[in-house]
Structures are given as C-alpha cells and as structure tokens.
Amino acid sequence: MTQLQDKTANTHACEVSIIVPTYQEADALGPLIERIGAVRGGGLDLKVIIVDDNSQDGTEELIASIGLPWVRLITRTEDRGLSSAVLCGLAQANGRVLIVMDADLSHPPEVIPNFIAALDGAADFVVGSRYVPGGSTEDGWGVLRWINSKIATWMARPFTTVRDPMSGFLGFRRETWSAAVDLDPVGYKIGLELIVKCRCRHVTEVPIHFSTRRYGQSKLSLRVQLQYLTHIIRLARWKFPGWSSFVPFAMVGLSGIAVYAFLLWLLQAWFGERISEDLQIIIAIAIAMVWNFIFDRWLAFWYARRRSIVRQFVGFLAVCSIPVIVNFFVTRWLIDDQFVTPAAGVVGALVGSTAGVIFNWVVVRAFVFRTQTPAGGD
C-alpha cells in the first residue's frame, strides 16, 4: 500500500501553496476553506494541501463533497506527527511561495497577502507572530499554558531572535525551502527547525491575532512537549557543536569531582580503618573515572557513540593517567590525621585536572607544534 493516498491530485504550478496539517479537524476545515477562498477571491492564485494523518472523522468525505479543484487532501496512513506532515506537504507543493498554517482557525488566513508582500521584499522567512506590535493572543490561555509557552520561547533564544519562534504560521519562498539541510522533524516546532536549518537571515514577523480554537481539541500532549526538549538539544548540537560538547564535558567534570569527594567520605564512613587509605582513594578514583567516562560519552561526545566503547575506554584511561596519578598523591598528602576527607579529594581532583591540562600543553607544544623541523624531515 502506498503511504500517500492522494484523493484530488492537481499538479500544475501555482503562486502560493498552503500546507495545512490536520488531525481530527473535520469541523474546522469547512470554515477554514471558506476563509481561504475569500483570500483567493481577492486575486491570489493559491492552492491548499491538507495533510491528514488518517483522522477517520469525516475529513475525507468533507473534502470530497466540497469538491474544489484548488483543495487537495493527502491522507497519510503510516507516519504520524505535525512536523513530518508539514514536510510531506511541502514535498508535494509546487507554489512559488509556501505557507504553513494550522487548521483550527487560530491562524487568520487573511494576513497571507502580508506574508507574500514581506517575501517579495527583503524577508526570506515570515512568521505569523503574536508578540510584535499589532499581534495578540485571544484571552483564555491558562497561566500554565502561558508559562509553558514563555519557557519554550526562551529556550529557542540561542537559535533565533524571532519574538514568536513557537509559531506554526509560516511563509517562505521555494528556494529557501530547497536550501534546507539535515531536517529532523521531531515534535511540533517545524518553524524553528526551518529557520535554523534553512539558515534564514531575514525573518520577518507579521502580526496576527491568535484565536482560541472553536472546534475540536488541541493535540499538544505532554509527549509532544517532551519532544521539544529533544528538539532543542538536537538543534544545539547542529548549530553549536563545539559548545554543546564542551559545556556538558565541563559539567560532567565538576560532577565527577563531587562524586569523588562523596565516595571518599562514604568509604571512610563504611570501612574506617578496615581498609587502607590508599585503597579507599583508588576505589574512589576508579568509580569516579567510570562515572566521567559514561556521562562524557553520552552527553559530550554523543557523535562518537557508535564506535567501540572498549577502545574509547582504553583511550580515556590513557589520557586520564596524569591527572589521576597527581590526584592520588595530592589527596594522600592532604590526608588529615589518617582520615581521608572529601575536601582532600576536591583539592586532589582539581590539582590533578590542572596538572593534566598543563601536561597536555607541554607535550603538545614540545612534540606537536615545535618550531624546528626535525633534521632530515621533508
């Protein structure tokens, strides 16, 4: 069975393609198409592509009964999800300008001419925005939804300065969309994904009044909200690979020092004098190293996770050997009246790490970037 069941194909190119992802929006579609029809009546050559995830709620019958040549329904039966539905619709669209909007009448189709005007000017991407002058949100958003939306917006800050990056009302030229790389449609925020992955420079926000839906229910589940966190992490790794490796690495390093100090305290409390201090330090160091290795591999060096863990662990041990040896002796030297204290561990680990960095600097300077070329070298 093919994945796309195309009911009303019509393929000649048009000026504007409007992609509307739907899941159980049959009640809203009639009024939506009517309002889009009015915009079309104003002289815009536009077509609508509805990408429905097999809602089985009368959507197919409705579109068939309306029977408009400029409204096409694609029913997906295998994939699910808002962002992938949008990408599916975009892949089928042939307009010069591409618009994406919700079906539930939260997004007013009447502003589409403003989108096109902006795109014919300097904009390479347009967002229907609640947070620019002239934009608004209909009352009735609970405090929780509002806070939620604010936090989500704030988390998108490193990727774009757009005031309403959460918007799903989007417009862009076909070339912008063709320039997209590595699209990874997880969750809801396909607008943010496109702004980042199409490397958009001029994003214009067109003010909209965001209406509360009149028909059906929101599909914004907890699962979709958690997917947003995954999305943000993926965007960070894509856009700032260096920082998204270094920051977790530094945090894991700090946590490793805390783990080491805690273990020293725990081993001392458990075993007291039944095992030697040296052994206590060695056990604590070994566990802290495994801790660092596991979390570094997972959070800081995610891009190498497919490679052999055994070889990586051996390499990790080798690189850690200098800091570990220094740490061991400093901790031991600081032992307070035969007691291994957590504070000694913190100092030991810090001195050890510093020694490691200095050692690497000296070695790299002396052997990798030395100024004299070795005699006989070419």
C-alpha radius of gyration, the chain, whole number:
29
Contacts to Mn ion from residues 195-224, by CB under 5 A: 213
Contacts to ligand GDD from residues 80-139, by CB under 6 A: 80-82, 85, 102-104, 106
Q: Residue type for 94, please?
A: N
CB of 182 to ligand GDD, least distance (A): 21
* Matching residue, tokens 């995610």: 302
Kindly tell me which of 122 and 222 has the beta carbon lying closer to ligand GDD.
Answer: 222
Q: Rule CB under 5 A: is residue 106 a binding residue for Mn ion? A: yes
Query: Which residue is at the shortest CB distance from ligand GDD?
Result: 168
Which contacts qualify for 267-273: CB closer than 8 Å, 24 or more apart?
267/340, 268/339, 268/340, 268/341, 273/338
Which contiguous run of DSSP H or E holds residue 100?
strand 97-100
Kindly tell me which of 101 and 351 has the beta carbon lying closer to ligand GDD.
Answer: 101
Contacts to ligand GDD from residues 2-21, by CB under 6 A: 21
CB of 94 to ligand GDD, least distance (A): 20
Q: Rule CB under 6 A: is residue 170 a binding residue for ligand GDD? A: no
Contacts to ligand GDD from residues 129-158, by CB under 6 A: 149
* Matching residue, tokens 């509307």: 20
Q: Rule CB under 6 A: is residue 185 a binding residue for ligand GDD? A: no
CB of 289 to ligand GDD, least distance (A): 44
Kindly tell me which of 230 and 354 has the beta carbon lying closer to ligand GDD.
Answer: 230
Kindly tell me which of 136 and 321 has the beta carbon lying closer to ligand GDD.
Answer: 136
> Rounded to an integer, what distance in angstroms lies between the CA atom of residue 39 and that of residue 209?
17
Q: Which does 136 bind (CB under 5 to 8 A by kind): ligand GDD, Mn ion, none?
A: none
Measure the N-to-C terminal CA separation of the chain; round to a whole number of Å. Answer: 63
Strand 136-137 and strand 209-210: the pairing is: parallel
Helix axes 190-197, 222-239, angle to 10 degrees: 10
Kindly tell me which of 115 and 316 has the beta carbon lying closer to ligand GDD.
Answer: 115
Q: Which does 167 bind (CB under 5 to 8 A by kind): ligand GDD, Mn ion, none?
A: ligand GDD
CB of 86 to ligand GDD, least distance (A): 8
CB of 146 to ligand GDD, least distance (A): 10
CB of 205 to ligand GDD, least distance (A): 13
CB of 357 to Mn ion, least distance (A): 51
Listed residue (72, 56, 52, 76) closest to 64, CA to CA? 72
- Scanning the chain, the segments in alpha helix (DSSP H) are 26-41, 59-66, 82-92, 112-120, 143-155, 174-178, 190-197, 222-239, 241-271, 277-295, 309-333, 342-363
Kindly tell me which of 104 and 296 has the beta carbon lying closer to Mn ion.
Answer: 104
CB of 100 to ligand GDD, least distance (A): 8
Q: Rule CB under 6 A: is residue 165 a binding residue for ligand GDD? A: no
Q: Site map for ligand GDD, 214-253, x if CB under 6 A? A: ----xxx---------------------------------
Query: DSSP assignment of 15-43, as one string?
Result: SEEEEEEESS-HHHHHHHHHHHHHHHHTT
Among 52, 53, 60, 104, binds Mn ion (CB under 5 A): 104
Among positive and negative, which fits the CA dihedral 367, 354, 239, 79? Answer: positive
Half-sphere exposure (Cβ direction) of 340: Cα atoms closer than 13 Å: 33
Contact assessment for residue 206 and residue 115, using Cβ atoms and an 8 Å cutoff: yes
Site for ligand GDD, rule CB under 6 A: 21-23, 25, 51-53, 80-82, 85, 102-104, 106, 149, 166-168, 188, 213, 218-220
